Amino acid sequence: MRDVYLVGAGQSDYGAFPSESYRSLFRTAFEAAVSSVPNGLEAEDIDEAFVGNLGVGGRQIGLSGPAVTEHVGLDGVPTTRVENACAASGFAVRQAVQAVKSGIADVALAGGFEVMSDMSSDATKYWLGVSGETEWERLSGTTFSGVYAQMASVHMEQYGTTRDHLSQVAVKNHSNGAKNPHAQLGFECSLEDARSAPVVADPLNLYHCCPTSDGAACALIVSEDVVDRYTDDPIRVAGVGAGSDSVGLFQRDSYSSVPASQRAAESAYEMADVTPDDLDFAEVHDCFAIAELLAYEDLGFCEKGEAGQLIQSGATELGGDLPVNTSGGLKSKGHPIGATGAGQVVEAYKQLSGDAGERQVDAPTRGLTHNVGGSGGAAVIHIFEKESEVNA
Amino acid sequence: MRDVYLVGAGQSDYGAFPSESYRSLFRTAFEAAVSSVPNGLEAEDIDEAFVGNLGVGGRQIGLSGPAVTEHVGLDGVPTTRVENACAASGFAVRQAVQAVKSGIADVALAGGFEVMSDMSSDATKYWLGVSGETEWERLSGTTFSGVYAQMASVHMEQYGTTRDHLSQVAVKNHSNGAKNPHAQLGFECSLEDARSAPVVADPLNLYHCCPTSDGAACALIVSEDVVDRYTDDPIRVAGVGAGSDSVGLFQRDSYSSVPASQRAAESAYEMADVTPDDLDFAEVHDCFAIAELLAYEDLGFCEKGEAGQLIQSGATELGGDLPVNTSGGLKSKGHPIGATGAGQVVEAYKQLSGDAGERQVDAPTRGLTHNVGGSGGAAVIHIFEKESEVNA
């Protein structure tokens, strides 16, 4: 297998943008990614493109990949839409890695987008619902907040996790998001704010749930044969892993873990030949606060059942041993579904390039991104490392 | 790049099956693919899966990949949904090829499915329409038959192609489909039948248009490192190519060719190091009769403008120099959108394995499959060859 590298990544702001289209958001992200490449990259260099998009709202159900790559001038470039619900563009990044490793492409674009802010609440419920399990979840009235609320309840019952642990996730991620100019909810929240918010699906309240968002993100993946053209300080895609599972939560053995994340982590750590101790930061899929706590355990940041203690210890804050969701996460930065996975890679790129501004982690060598589809029907993990630091 | 092989492929019947679900159809195709592997293959051998699906009807918009792979017992296997409209599973096969060439997987499943027969005509129009261009095509009332009718009109005007040439495509493909037990419209039609059918979108009539279909198809792609476990007579994926283009026909320079197909063909021929003369059969994307004629030219089976003469010559009939759509094609075999590309690979596998029954081509060495999304927003081509014949 030849080595592959991340040489650029960029995103649009996340938020509600009534005057933007999915194409204009994608173009903003594409241009940001291209202009982030240290030694420059031309659109003509791109051999292949993968675009993640759930297609909520029914704007463009088919061929949304070519619809956006054409718009950014990638005429004729093989473009494939990839979709695994909220993990759509995490899997698009994985496809770009496979395309480049396969030798079929030397330079691949992986991106994603979603426009959600112009939908009514009923439409949102419908379009997100048809990514969940139909018979026993959606048609019986369960929403994604309901599904994650069940996971939270079980984790609280089994391991003594508290509502305050959930709220601490919100406090941390908002604190980070307040330092990210692209964040949708870029303001701080206090523990008291997070405690006293209205209930969405008990035990989850408003501060335990991510917003719906418009946005786009892109990343550029290249082969070892061409990486020197684009950067003098390469960031290697050291590991990639993925897993799948039943779409419905009720079909799984456990409500308090996400086996697809565990499988993805195992593969990614093995391929990168690292352990969680070797990570300097991580972006994990915190669509709901409980999801971040489950990720701590599924990805091996702590032992099973100890995620509450980990968030409470401060270890995952900026300045802690393993800062998590320095971007603000889905909670504060926002969650434009199809863009989220690629957007996590944007944060990894910024951190490893030393361009994360006020939220910069101190000289990181290695970071991880973790993107989940649905309530865990699919998960994908990437590990990025700065070669100059690894070899130092 | 390591070599990859096609070691099995199978499909469900194509048709209208009110008592089947998308999961049951996929299982039928999966089981047919697995049981077609000469030396046997276990579900546990499968490292990775790609599932093509447009999601018409709104059954399962997100995570439809894991929803079907879980149903066939591929617990936890990384599964990615791939979508490029009618080329969804052609691109799924391409992703499987990339995954195996990349070294990340040794055995990959590529499949697809669609259920369309339970939709009203308005629903069909909506769900297919949102795979077309929105502003200048769908919202101004143009359907896919209308788009292809424009291509046919221009081709007739520029090159003297006739309505009878279109009808001859139908006669040939129905003659082949009548020999395919999986075909939805498995009956012969005469030139008179095809001439006198009711108009759909002038100059296209009912016999110039494929049906809407339910169905599923699967293929199994493996690496050179493991191919010997599965077969003693390997079929190599010699070439793969893809291209994209504007989603809207009106944005393109030409109405009488499909540039995405030309790009895909060029890449695939180059990778396989063959020319169209080296092909013994081809499955091309004949969603409308004109599409088969355009494919003749775009794929180099004849010169530009000469597709009418080629169909008239009989060269593309069974027993001709280059039999095209021996399966019956989309026209007679059927077109369950997300299944179509993988279904073409099923025909290639049967032909190269000598299992095509009454429609068997005489001892073929090499065949091509060609799958188009929309009116040419994406296209993907594979070339398969029997190593024992190539090396003979």
ipTM attached to this prediction: 0.95
* Of A391, A389, A344, nearest in space to A363 by CA: A389
> Which candidate in A86, A189, A210, A302 is catalytic?
A86
List the domain boundaries for chain A.
4-119+211-390
* Of A342, A61, A93, nearest in space to B86 by CA: A61
Residue B220 is predicted with a pLDDT of: 98
Give CB contacts under 8 A, 24+ apart, made by A358-364. A358/A179, A359/A176, A359/A179, A359/A180, A359/A318, A359/A326, A359/A327, A361/A280, A361/A281, A361/A318, A361/A323, A361/A326, A363/A389, A364/A280, A364/A281, A364/A389
Residue B219 is predicted with a pLDDT of: 98
Provide φ and ψ at A177, rounded to 5°. -60, -30
Residue A165 is predicted with a pLDDT of: 98
Least confident of A224-228, B125-129, B230-234: B125-129
**Mean pLDDT across B362-377:** 97
> Which candidate in A182, A285, A335, A382 is catalytic?
A335
Q: How many CB pairs under 8 A join A and B?
A: 207
Q: Rounded mean pLDDT of chain B? A: 96
What is the rounded CA–CA span in Å between residue A68 and residue A126?
24
Q: A80 and B242 in contact by Cβ < 8 A? A: yes
What is the rounded CA–CA span in Å between residue A230 and residue A40?
6
Q: A99 and B98 in contact by Cβ < 8 A? A: yes
**Measured between beta carbons, which residues in chain A are less than 8 angstroms from residue B131?**
60-63
Residue A105 is predicted with a pLDDT of: 98
Please identify every residue of B annotated as catalytic: 86, 335
Q: Measured between CA atoms, how close is B85 to chain A, in angstroms?
A: 5
* Of A167, A201, A144, nearest in space to A331 by CA: A167
Q: From the list A76, A95, A244, which residue is nearest B77 (CB)?
A: A244
**Measured between beta carbons, which residues in chain A are less than 8 angstroms from residue B246?**
66, 70
> What's the one-letter identity of residue A63?
L
Q: From the list B49, B76, B378, which residue is nearest A263 (CB)?
A: B76
What is the rounded CA–CA span in Å between residue A195 and residue A163?
8
Q: A66 and B373 in contact by Cβ < 8 A? A: yes
- Check the CA dihedral A359-A360-A362-A366 and report its sign: positive
**Measured between beta carbons, which residues in chain A are less than 8 angstroms from residue B55?**
61
Which of A51, A83, A137, A245 to mutate to probe the B interface, most B CBs <10 Å? A83
Which of B63, B221, B240, B258 to mutate to probe the A interface, most A CBs <10 Å? B63
Judged against a pLDDT cut of 90, whether residue B320 lies above it is answered with: yes
Other CB atoms closer than 10 Å to residue A375's CB: what's the count?
A: 32
Which of B61, B254, B267, B340 to mutate to probe the A interface, most A CBs <10 Å? B61
CA-to-CA separations, A310 to A157, A176, B10, B300, in angstroms, rounded: 17, 17, 50, 63
What is the rounded CA–CA span in Å between residue A240 and residue A27?
27
Judged against a pLDDT cut of 90, whether residue A124 lies above it is answered with: no
Please give, one letter per residue, the 3-state secondary structure of B247-271.
Answer: CCHHHCCCCCCCHHHHHHHHHHHHH
Q: A244 and B134 in contact by Cβ < 8 A? A: no
Judged against a pLDDT cut of 90, whether residue B135 lies above it is answered with: no
Q: A131 and B240 in contact by Cβ < 8 A? A: no
Residue B392 is predicted with a pLDDT of: 77
Q: Measured between CA atoms, how close is A267 to chain B, in angstroms?
A: 10
Residue B178 is predicted with a pLDDT of: 98
**Mean pLDDT across A192-216:** 97
**Measured between beta carbons, which residues in chain B are less than 8 angstroms from residue A376?**
none
Residues 6+ apart with CB under 8 A from A215: A11, A12, A13, A14, A15, A25, A29, A113, A114, A184, A334, A336, A339, A343
Q: Which residue of B has its CA nearest to A92?
A: B80
**pLDDT more than 70, % of chain A:** 100
**Mean pLDDT across B127-139:** 85
Least confident of A229-233, A248-252, B231-235: A248-252
**pLDDT more than 90, % of chain B:** 89
Other CB atoms closer than 10 Å to residue B300's CB: what's the count?
A: 17
Q: Measured between CA atoms, how close is B175 to chain A, in angstroms?
A: 32
Q: B76 and A245 in contact by Cβ < 8 A? A: yes
Q: B247 and A61 in contact by Cβ < 8 A? A: no
Q: Quick: pLDDT tens for A32-86.
A: 999 999 999 999 999 999 999 998 877 788 899 999 999 999 989 999 999 999 9
Angle between helix B289-298 and helix B144-159 axes, rounded to 10 deg = 60
Q: Measured between CA atoms, how close is B247 to chain A, in angstroms?
A: 6
Residue B391 is predicted with a pLDDT of: 82
Q: B378 and A247 in contact by Cβ < 8 A? A: no
| Confidence at A247, pLDDT banded by 50, 70, 90 | very high
Q: Quick: pLDDT tens for A327-347.
A: 999 999 999 999 999 999 999
Judged against a pLDDT cut of 90, whether residue A130 lies above it is answered with: no
What is the rounded CA–CA span in Å between residue B87 and residue B371?
5
**Measured between beta carbons, which residues in chain B are less than 8 angstroms from residue A49?**
244
Residue A350 is predicted with a pLDDT of: 98
Q: A74 and B246 in contact by Cβ < 8 A? A: no
Q: From the list A60, A76, A259, which residue is nearest B245 (CB)?
A: A76
Cβ–Cβ under 8 Å, residues A256 and A301: no
**Measured between beta carbons, which residues in chain A are less than 8 angstroms from residue B380?**
78
Residue A127 is predicted with a pLDDT of: 85
Residue A91 is predicted with a pLDDT of: 98
Judged against a pLDDT cut of 90, whether residue A133 lies above it is answered with: no
Q: Measured between CA atoms, how close is A309 to chain B, in angstroms?
A: 29
Residue B100 is predicted with a pLDDT of: 98
> What's the one-letter identity of residue A49?
A
| Confidence at A391, pLDDT banded by 50, 70, 90 | confident
Q: Measured between CA atoms, how close is A249 to chain B, in angstroms?
A: 12
**Mean pLDDT across B327-348:** 98
| Confidence at B123, pLDDT banded by 50, 70, 90 | confident
CATH 3.40.47.10 is held by the domain A4-119+211-390: yes
Q: Measured between CA atoms, how close is B260 to chain A, in angstroms?
A: 6
**Measured between beta carbons, which residues in chain A are less than 8 angstroms from residue B259?**
76
**Mean pLDDT across B146-150:** 97
Judged against a pLDDT cut of 80, whether residue A392 lies above it is answered with: no
Q: A63 and B259 in contact by Cβ < 8 A? A: no
